[in-house]
Structure 1
Amino acid sequence: MTIHKEGLKILFILLAVLFAINYAVKYYFPEVELAHQLTLIASLIVYLLVLQFFRNPSIQIELDDKLVLAPAEGKVVVIENTVEGEYFKDERKQISIFMSPLNVHVCRTPVGGIVKYFKYHAGKYLVAWHPKSSTENERTTMVIQNPSGTEVLVRQIAGAVARRIKWYTKENDKLVQGQEYGFIKFGSRLDVFLPLDAEIKVSLDQKTKGGKTILAELK
C-alpha cells in the first residue's frame, strides 16, 4: 500500500494546518486539557480519513483482450443501452461506476491498446448520479482500441465534491490493460461504453475493484 502522488501536497498542507490548530488551542487555552485532547483526536480522525482516500494499493492484473475490467473501485449504478453522442454517435451499452469518498480513486484502463481519442471537457459540477452529469459535467473522454480492433470508451466525470480530474495519457499512447491513467479527487463517477454485443458480467449495485472486477466480455 502506498500513498498516491496526487495526495502528497494535500496531506502536507493538511498536516501543517492541523498542527497550527492544535498549537493555537494549547496557546490560547493552556489549562483546558479536555480541549487539547479533543482537538488532537479530531485532528487525527480528519488526517486518517484524508490519508485513506489517497491510498494506492498494488494489484496484479490478469490480462485478457476479451475482457473489460472495471476502471475504478466503487458501485455499479447504471447498466443500460444508450446513445453515445461524442465519439461513436450510435447506440452502445453503458456501465457506470460511482466512487464514494471511501473508495480508491485511481482510474485504470478497462482494456489494453492504443488511445484513439482523448479529450478534456470543462463543465458543471452536478452530483455524479445526475442523468446529465455524463454530458454536462467536467469530464474526460478516452477511447481505446484493443488488439482485435474493438473500441471501448471510458469517461471520467467530476461531481459536486470531486472537482479535480487528473489524467496521464494522450492520443496514440499504448496502454496496458489495468494501467493507471488518471485520478479523481474526492469521489465521482466513471462511464464505460461497450459494443452492443458485449456480454455484461456485473449487476446493478455490485461493488467493483479497479483492474480486478470483470465488467463484460467482448465478442
Structure 2
Amino acid sequence: MSMIDDVRGVLAPPHPAGRPFILGGLAVIVVGIVLAHWLIWLGLLFTLFCLYFFRDPERVTPARPGVLVAPADGRVVATILAPPPPELGLGPEQRWKVSIFLSVLNVHVNRVPISGVVTRIAYHRGAFVSASLDKASELNERNALAIRLANGREIAVVQIAGLVARRILCDVREGDPVLTGQRFGIIRFGSRTDLYLPPGVRPLVEVGQTMVGAETVIAEMAH
C-alpha cells in the first residue's frame, strides 16, 4: 500500500453512524466560541477523533470465486475449532473460528465475508469484557448473522462488543442477499468480530496477522 493510499484511508468519509458524534463535537466548538475558548479545543479534538474512528474507506475485494475475506480490520487473536453461537441454529458441530480484535485505531465497519443470503440474525445480551480475550466470544454482548452461500453451505459472522464498545449496528435483515465485501454494520469504540467457516474449510491466516476488511483472504473453498 502506497503513502497516498494510507492518506486516502485516513481521510475517508465517515460512516453514517458517526455523524451524531461529529455534529456533537462541532456543537461544542460553537459553544466554546461563545462561552469558553478551552471548549473549542475539546470539541476540535473530539471531532477529529470521531472523523478518524468512523472513517469508511473503499476496499478492493478479490474477484475469484470461493474466497472468504476478512469481515473486519484488526488483528487475528484466535483460530480455533468451536461451534457457532447456539442462537443461530447451525448445530453443535465444531468448525474453524477466526477471531479478529479491533482496537480504537482500526476501521470499525464490518464487511460481508462471502456472497449469500442472510438466513438468521440473533442478538444476545451480555457483558463487556475486553474483546481481546477468548471468553469475549461467549460472554460479551453480540449480534450474530448466519449466511447461506450459493452452494447451500453456511457461515456465521458475529459482531461482539468490547470493553468500551456499547453499541452494535447491523444494517442488513433476514432474507437480504449480500455480496462479498459489502458493508453490513459497525461496532462503536473497540470490538471483536468472529467468523465461523463452513465445516471442513480451514483458515489461511495465523494468530497475530493483520486483517484488512473486505480484502484479506481468510479462507478458500474448493470448487
- CA drift of 1:93 comes to 0.4
Match of 2:25 in 1: 14
Partner SS, residue 31 of structure 2: helix
Cα deviation 1:4-26 (Å, max 9, x = unaligned) = 10011110012112432454334
Q: State the one-letter code of the partner of 2:108.
A: H
Preserved contact between residue 65 and residue 111 of structure 1 (Cα < 8 Å): no
Preserved contact between residue 109 and residue 183 of structure 2 (Cα < 8 Å): yes
Preserved contact between residue 3 and residue 56 of structure 1 (Cα < 8 Å): yes
Following the alignment from structure 2 to structure 1, what is the Cα–Cα distance between the partners of residues 165 and 34? 30
Q: State the one-letter code of the partner of 1:9.
A: P
* Between structures 1 and 2, the one with greater strand share: 1
Match of 2:13 in 1: 2
Matched residue count = 208
- Larger deviation, residues 174-183 vs 77-86: 77-86
Match of 2:183 in 1: 180
Aligned in 2, Cα 1:11/1:157: closer, same or farther, shift over 3 Å? same
Following the alignment from structure 2 to structure 1, what is the Cα–Cα distance between the partners of residues 78 and 174? 27
Match of 2:4 in 1: none
Partner SS, residue 3 of structure 1: coil
Preserved contact between residue 119 and residue 175 of structure 2 (Cα < 8 Å): yes
Aligned in 2, Cα 1:143/1:65: closer, same or farther, shift over 3 Å? farther
- Larger deviation, residues 185-194 vs 135-144: 135-144
- The alignment status of 1:52 with 2:48, answered yes or no, reads no
**TM-score (ref. length: structure 1):** 0.87
Preserved contact between residue 75 and residue 208 of structure 1 (Cα < 8 Å): yes
Q: 1:1-219, aligned counterparts within 5 Å?
A: 1-21=12-32, 23-26=34-37, 43-86=43-86, 87-88=89-90, 89-219=92-222
Following the alignment from structure 1 to structure 2, what is the Cα–Cα distance between the partners of residues 85 and 99? 20
Match of 1:30 in 2: none
Preserved contact between residue 131 and residue 163 of structure 2 (Cα < 8 Å): yes
* CA RMSD, 1 decimal: 1.8
Following the alignment from structure 2 to structure 1, what is the Cα–Cα distance between the partners of residues 163 and 148? 31
**TM-score (ref. length: structure 2):** 0.86
Following the alignment from structure 1 to structure 2, what is the Cα–Cα distance between the partners of residues 169 and 90? 26
Q: State the one-letter code of the partner of 2:184.
A: Y
Preserved contact between residue 97 and residue 190 of structure 1 (Cα < 8 Å): yes
Preserved contact between residue 153 and residue 193 of structure 1 (Cα < 8 Å): yes
- Larger deviation, residues 13-22 vs 151-160: 13-22
- The answer for unaligned runs of 5 or more in structure 1 is 27-35
- Larger deviation, residues 143-152 vs 12-21: 12-21
Following the alignment from structure 1 to structure 2, what is the Cα–Cα distance between the partners of residues 44 and 84? 42
Cα deviation 1:110-158 (Å, max 9, x = unaligned) = 0110112211122221211233321222111111111112211100001
Partner SS, residue 115 of structure 1: strand
Partner SS, residue 202 of structure 1: coil
Preserved contact between residue 99 and residue 105 of structure 1 (Cα < 8 Å): yes
Cα deviation 1:35-78 (Å, max 9, x = unaligned) = x6xx6555533321221111111123233441110001111111
Preserved contact between residue 127 and residue 140 of structure 2 (Cα < 8 Å): yes
- The answer for unaligned runs of 5 or more in structure 2 is 1-11
